[in-house]
Structure 1
Amino acid sequence: MKSALSLGLFSLLAIAAPIVHSEIYTLGDSLSDAGSLGITYTDPSGVNPLVSGKTWIQDLTSSTPAFCDDRKQCPWDPRTYYYRDGNNYAVGGAGVMFDSTDSHTPNTFTSLGSQISALINSGKLKGGDAITILMGSNDVLAAATKPGSSQAVVNAATSFVHYVSVLAAQPSHPHIYVFTLPDLGQSPFGRSTADSGASLSQLAQIFNSEITAGLRNTSGVKFVISSTIFGELSQQLLNYPIYCTKVIDTAHACGSTANPVLQGPVNLLFADPLHPSRVAHAMIADRVRNVIK
């Protein structure tokens, strides 16, 4: 599936004063994707400028993709996908256990293990560097549609722990900030499901429990935990209507004249049923800024 199917509403563990890092690298899916597929997921086709533009990591850094983002100039194959001096390896649609299936970029090696391998093999990591990792929502959403979903999520979390442990063991000893998953059941997509998101909430909790237990004693790893920020933002921004299936515009809640007209400027919480809006991304960055510098 093309979109990363993830949210980004975080609260932070009590962490000491932020460290000023030499460089910040980013691994993940569409929540952190700075345009590797030619778009950012705050700006799908037809979205109003209120929900377009940069993702949270770009508010904190000069994050750019570490691979070619111009299809006219680059051969799209596994050997050349990652290249140059960018620092954002996140790709919309990627999962811990699988690569993106975007039709324009087949076999792009965008799973978490592939992103980590590409970063390690680049030779760019040095002492004082930081790495942000937010991945797993696509694995949870894919597992939720199949029998044995809990075990599939445990498998993804086990792989996550392995990959991050390999990264933490690098000679440069990077500072790794692992973002746990938000409550996917509370997304507009989750609330629209048959059980009002209960299954997605449970699976996200399983994933989070597994990775926090598995990485708790790993040197260099700190957690950024999803919890109260979601509540803060939901009180400050207009929630995405549960019945929407397309991106919102400012004239009508879901782009249909049958839906209520929104009066005046509107700050939206979601760009679509799963991705935060541009405003939400900026607010997320404000809360993360005191942890990652």
Structure 2
Amino acid sequence: MKKRFVAAGFIIFSFMLPLRATAAQFSGIYVFGDSLSDAGNVYNSTIDPNTGVGFPPPPYVDGNFSNGPIWIDQLAKKLQLDSSPTLVTDVAKGVAPKNGINYAFGGATSIDKNTISPFLPGFQQQIAAFTTPLLQTKNADSNALYVLWTGANDYLPTNADPNYFKPFTDPTTTINSLKLAIASLADVGAKNILVVNLPDLGQLPRAQNLDPTFPVANGTSQSLTDLTKEHNSDLSDAIADLNKVLNPDVKLISLDANSVFTDIMNDTKNMQGVKYGFKEVAKPCLVDPSCAADPSIQNQYFFWDGLHPTTAAHKVLGDYAFQQIEKSMQPVPEPSTALGTVAIGAFGAAALLKRKRKQSLLKTVSLVPAGQSTHTKVEN
């Protein structure tokens, strides 16, 4: 009974010891990126005063580059925020930010260019819009989540004037831009930074010449696949390097969008969509008139148009992002605490073993016949 009490005491004591991290309740989300994370900024910026319609127009929904909510909306819901972050274009109109701010603009490259319009911001301009007012105070919300997803528009074929922007043929500039953005956010006080890699750009319907609105040259698909691999590898290395030099309080969370999208495609091709429910992962919904007109069919497609996922695919990514964030926030004992717990446990175990051995020896001695050497029995 006494042994049980001592063991229980050790267990209870170990739970009282401090932990390095617990599952976070974020105060909001700050989003920086392109059309994959833009929930209406381009739309708000391009509304025609005569028609009241912006870009992208219907059948795109609510200013999203999709047929419904995007992954940021899904993530905000999973994080139990009562709404998605406020659009920066609404903040500019005087709307008070709620649950963070979404700075992402469709068409943004990782630098200061935008492939939809030169009058729209690129990724670095988004970062500067957030960090510049905070350079003196360094008081960015440390309880918020900061999301960075950029790079696709750096490599994809575009209608932009080549004198204005020409797609990159290697990831050097893109990765350097992401490293600068991460460092800039950390410098003003951001603590939790989610960095997303790229899905296989060579598998996009546009790269596969399945988007009749934008034909591409032969070989585009393979070159984009190769660029994606190089980008993702270099991004992983960059995050590892930054983890060595940034303040230990800064948590960089990697989100492998590439593996999620690849898993969906392989699941549909090999298992008839058993896991995710998609029936078409190659052709975009908008090239099929019956799909474009029927919401019940739309989310059986993985791609909405030649570049962007349907809201069903966005939901898969949002769910996965939440899982990865939760995993990264699991409690981890401090090194000193862990060692202390082990030492206490070892001390307790040693004491119990010593007592058990002593009792065993005494019992053995009591069984020795009179006149026989106890010394010999102990050695045995």
Q: Tell whether the structures are fold-level matches, with TM greater than 0.5.
A: yes
Change (3 A) 1:83 1:162: farther
Question: Which residue identity lines up with residue 273 of structure 1 in the other structure?
Answer: G
Cα deviation, residue 48, structure 1: 8.8
| Residue 114, structure 1, aligned to residue 125, structure 2 | yes
Change (3 A) 1:184 1:102: closer
Change (3 A) 1:191 1:59: same
Q: Report what 2:177 is aligned to.
A: 159
C-alpha distance in 2, partners of 1:210/1:238? 33
* Number of residue equivalences: 251
Cα deviation, residue 92, structure 1: 0.6
| Residue 239, structure 1, aligned to residue 246, structure 2 | no
C-alpha distance in 2, partners of 1:32/1:147? 22
Change (3 A) 1:28 1:83: farther
Cα deviation, residue 248, structure 1: 4.3
Cα deviation, residue 160, structure 1: 1.9
Q: How does 1:196-211 map to 2 (within 5 A)?
A: 197-211=221-235
C-alpha distance in 1, partners of 2:230/2:94? 32
Question: Which residue identity lines up with residue 166 of structure 1 in the other structure?
Answer: S
Moved more, 90-99 or 231-240: 231-240
Q: Is the 8 A contact 1:67 1:82 kept in 2?
A: no
Question: Which residue identity lines up with residue 36 of structure 2 in the other structure?
Answer: L
- Which of 131, 154, 157 does residue 139 from structure 1 map onto? 154
Moved more, 127-136 or 155-164: 155-164
Cα deviation, residue 33, structure 1: 0.6
- Looking at both structures, which has the greater relative contact order when contacts are Cα pairs under 8 Å and sequence separation is at least 6? 1
Q: Report what 1:11 is aligned to.
A: none
C-alpha distance in 1, partners of 2:310/2:71? 10
Q: How does 1:82-231 map to 2 (within 5 A)?
A: 84-85=96-97, 87-103=101-117, 107-108=119-120, 110-123=121-134, 125-142=140-157, 149-151=168-170, 153-170=171-188, 172-192=189-209, 193=216, 194-195=218-219, 197-218=221-242, 219=246, 220-231=251-262
SS of residue paired to 2:286 = coil
Question: Which residue identity lines up with residue 123 of structure 2 in the other structure?
Answer: L
Unaligned runs of 5+ in 1: 1-15, 75-79, 256-261
Give me the identity figure in percent.
26
Moved more, 94-103 or 23-32: 94-103
Q: Is the 8 A contact 1:185 1:196 kept in 2?
A: yes
Question: Which residue identity lines up with residue 88 of structure 1 in the other structure?
Answer: N
Question: Which residue identity lines up with residue 183 of structure 2 in the other structure?
Answer: S
Question: Which residue identity lines up with residue 28 of structure 1 in the other structure?
Answer: G
Question: Which residue identity lines up with residue 157 of structure 1 in the other structure?
Answer: I
Q: Report what 1:46 is aligned to.
A: 59
Q: Is the 8 A contact 1:18 1:291 kept in 2?
A: no
Q: Report what 2:37 is aligned to.
A: 32
Q: Is the 8 A contact 1:26 1:133 kept in 2?
A: yes
Deviations 1:54-74 (CA, angstroms, capped at 9, x unpaired): 1110112222444235xxxx9
Larger Rg: 2
Runs of 4+ in structure 1 deviating by more than 4 angstroms, as ranges, are: 41-44, 80-84, 145-149
C-alpha distance in 2, partners of 1:206/1:224? 16
Q: Is the 8 A contact 1:66 1:82 kept in 2?
A: no
User: Which TM-score applies when normalising by structure 1?
Assistant: 0.72
Cα deviation, residue 42, structure 1: 12
Q: Is the 8 A contact 1:42 1:52 kept in 2?
A: no
Unaligned runs of 5+ in 2: 1-20, 45-53, 77-82, 210-215, 327-380
Q: Report what 2:6 is aligned to.
A: none
C-alpha distance in 1, partners of 2:61/2:128? 37
SS of residue paired to 2:169 = helix
Deviations 1:102-159 (CA, angstroms, capped at 9, x unpaired): 45xx534x2221111112235572222210111000001159x9999434x3222222
SS of residue paired to 1:288 = helix
Higher helix proportion (structure 1 or 2):
2
Q: How does 1:271-290 map to 2 (within 5 A)?
A: 271-290=304-323
SS of residue paired to 2:148 = strand
User: Which TM-score applies when normalising by structure 2?
Assistant: 0.57
Change (3 A) 1:182 1:22: same
C-alpha distance in 1, partners of 2:195/2:153? 16
SS of residue paired to 1:87 = strand
SS of residue paired to 1:131 = strand
CA RMSD of aligned residues (A): 3.5
